[in-house]
Amino acid sequence: MKFLHQAIAKAFQDIFDTQVTEEQLSLEQTKKEFEGQVTFVVFPFIRYTKKSPEESARLIGEYLKSRLNEVADFNVIKGFLNLVLSDSYWVDVFLEITRPDFGQLPSNGQKVMVEYSSPNTNKPLHLGHIRNNLLGYSVAEILKSAGYEVIKANLVNDRGIHICKSMLAWQKFGNGETPESTGLKGDHLVGKYYVIFDQHYKKEIEALKAAGKTEEEAKKQAPLILEAQEMLQQWEAGDEEVISLWKKMNTWVYAGFQETYSALGVDFDQYYYESNTYLLGKDIVEEGLSKGVFFQKPDGSVWIDLTPDGLDEKLVRRADGTSVYITQDLGTAQLKYDDFKMQQSIYVVGNEQDYHFKVLFLILEKLGKSWAKGLYHLSYGMVDLPSGKMKSREGTVVDADDLIEEMKQTAKEKTEELGKVDHFEEAEKENLYRMIGLGALKYFLLKVEPKKRLLFDPKESIDFQGNTGPFIQYTHARIQSVLSKADKDLSSIEIKRPETLKETEVELIQLLSKYPVILTSAAEDYNPAAIANFAYDLAKAYNKFYQTESILKVEEEDLKLFRLKLSHHTALTLNKAMHLLGIEMPERM
């Protein structure tokens, strides 16, 4: 649309003898109830024209129509100039879309790390982790497609008191159970003992309260928690028996995690482990003290005063010399930058950590880290189910593996209700149910902007109508069916330019042409929802075209080939967009 910006700026010069820069001008898509594709809002410029909005719009419209072949007509609604662009212009746009590299932006020389998942090794992944993983993976894929070099990172929380709780419970109550002996995934087995610890711990608390202790005293004095604390100290001291148990149980968990990651279709380029990073940051504390960024209190503890920045004082090292969590994060941030020298580093973490990341980034800036400006917290809202909130230590967590299986089962039931897969082979059916179930889950979680909390209803997500993954997948399969029946190699066929276009064809071409702009915007905002809703709009536009225009039965061969080519590139673009969400597209449904 640069040609329109240039022409409108020239119109202001020639008609009104006034200078308006191209940067001042913005164009919008014309509202569906009016004729046209592009709208210029005149209201902000009447101070230059010294005429009414309607008269200003009319004069600019006549100027453009008389000088630009691309402008076929115009209409004025109050101060809105709606431009009807010529069919010839839209054919040119379509030919641009058919380039093989359309939708892949060139390399921008920028490197970015996206850190996501960040699981604890004391329990399986749950619904909250699913949103985290899907969001992180999708943002990474969008950035790749937008020309960035991307490193997908996973910082695993594999140490601490919560890990020791599972270890201790297995030691006391496990009777040597293993994933092999129980048939349980390793992460599920370890998670089971995290729940068992909590059950026994609560009983001890109640017994101590009955003996006259306050609840706070009982929580601190319960034998199990004291043993878990002792085990953590033994781990930090390198006790061979404790380290051996820790390695064994973590190995079980990692195997379980990998199964879930594979089922979700997410992956990582780099793993970091808190067992290796928890001592990092001590040098940064010394650096902060020497620079006067940190200060030491009389008890020896080290702090930073962020009250002038509207925050509070933050502890960065305890009086006994041990690190706190943010100390470790400071060190890990430095380690990641030293490893990859990236311009941006994105942390995909829930919004309950908003304050933590404000503090972390601000400290790094005050320490003079040149790369701190490139740090970003992609904060996302929690996911609720109709049944309510999840609590993992009580064993009421919505397990990721169970949810994935439920989605496949729901997809199977819904698809079989429609009776469209009776002629499919059994293996093809199972693969289709997997694609539809996971497509529904991913799309439902990604079509909402990350910051928003959302209520996830598995049954609502699998609907072949409306703004859902299966609707877009079904549209793709419908296009593949049309192309299959045509049986032509559209990649090598040169199409003849049509003289005129139908309204639905123009609408499709206009939407397709927007894909690089949508991709750029989604990358800038770290927002997969922009891609998801683009895919939905494109699928809707294709179905409207499919319902109103004949494709295979049209008599004129050149027109048939054009519509097949338009269908082909719609399918390609839907595929590209949904790939960025991690969603597979079936060839038939």
pLDDT for res 439: 96
- Sheet of strand 295-296, all strands in order from the earlier edge strand to the far edge: 295-296, 302-305, 313-317
Question: How far is Cα of residue 2 from the mean position of the Cα atoms in its chain?
Answer: 31
The model's pTM is 0.91
pLDDT value at position 395?
Answer: 45
Structure confidence at residue 432 (pLDDT) = 95
Average pLDDT over residues 161-173: 96
Closest CA to 194 of 175, 176, 216, 172: 172
What are 382-404's pLDDT values in tens digits? Answer: 888 776 544 444 445 678 998 89
Check whether 288 has a pLDDT greater than 90: yes
Structure tokens at 419: 């009776």
CA distances from 206 to 222, 358, 540, 563 (A): 10, 39, 59, 73
C-alpha closest to that of 375 among 390, 384, 364, 385: 364
Q: CA dihedral in degrees (163, 167, 173, 175; nearest 10)?
A: 140
Residue 393 is predicted with a pLDDT of 44
Contact by Cβ (8 Å): 353, 377: yes
DSSP one-letter code for 30: P
Whether the Cβ atoms of residue 140 and residue 132 lie closer than 8 Å to each other: no
> Cα-atom radius of gyration of the chain, to the nearest Å?
30
Q: 329 pLDDT exceeds 70?
A: yes
Question: For 288-292, 409-413, 489-493, 554-558, which range has the lowest pLDDT when averaged over its residues?
Answer: 489-493
Q: At what angle do helices 161-173 and 223-236 cross, to 10 degrees?
A: 110
Between CA 545 and CA 554 the distance in angstroms is 14
Averaged confidence pLDDT in the chain: 94
Closest by alpha carbon to 434, among 262, 263, 580?
Answer: 263
Domain boundaries 401-579, CATH class: mainly alpha
Q: What is the DSSP letter of 35?
A: S
**Which residues, in sequence order, are CB contacts of 122 under 8 Å at separation 6+?**
162, 163, 165, 166, 190, 191, 194, 253
By mean pLDDT, which of 136-140, 243-247, 417-421, 464-468 is the weakest? 417-421
pLDDT in tens, 69-93: 999 999 999 999 999 999 999 999 9
Where do you find CATH 1.10.730.10 in the chain? 401-579
Q: Taking residues 349-371, what's their average pLDDT?
A: 97
Question: Is residue 408 scored above 80 in pLDDT?
Answer: yes
Q: Strand 71-77 to strand 111-115: parallel, antiparallel, or no bridges (unpaired)?
A: unpaired
- Between CA 57 and CA 71 the distance in angstroms is 14
Report d(CA 462, CA 469) in Å as an integer.
Answer: 7
- Whether the Cβ atoms of residue 71 and residue 77 lie closer than 8 Å to each other: no
What is the structure's pLDDT at 397? 65
Q: How far apart are CA 439 and CA 470, in angstroms?
A: 7
Q: Where are the alpha helices (DSSP H) in 341-468?
A: 354-366, 400-418, 426-446, 458-461
Q: What is the pLDDT of residues 105-130, one digit of tens each?
A: 999 999 999 999 999 999 999 888 99
Range 169-182 average pLDDT: 96
pLDDT mean over 564-587: 96
Q: What pLDDT shows up at residue 230?
A: 96
Cβ–Cβ under 8 Å, residues 76 and 113: no
Question: In a 3-state reduction of DSSP, which class is residue 556?
Answer: coil
Distances in Å between the Cα of 567 and the Cα atoms of 477, 529, 554 are: 11, 24, 14
Q: For residue 556, count other CB atoms closer than 10 A to its CB.
A: 10
Model pLDDT for residues 187-232, shown as the tens digit of each residue: 999 999 999 999 999 999 999 999 999 999 999 999 999 999 999 9
Calculate mean pLDDT across residues 18-39: 93
Return residue ranges of the chain for CATH 3.30.1360.70: 2-85
pLDDT at 519 over 60: yes
**pLDDT score recorded for residue 396:** 54
- As a whole number, mean pLDDT of residues 268-283 equals 93
In angstroms, rounded to a whole number, what is the distance separating the alpha carbons of residues 420 and 425?
Answer: 12
pLDDT at 455 over 90: no
What pLDDT does 390 receive? 40
Topology at the third CATH level for domain 2-85: Gyrase A; domain 2 (3.30.1360)
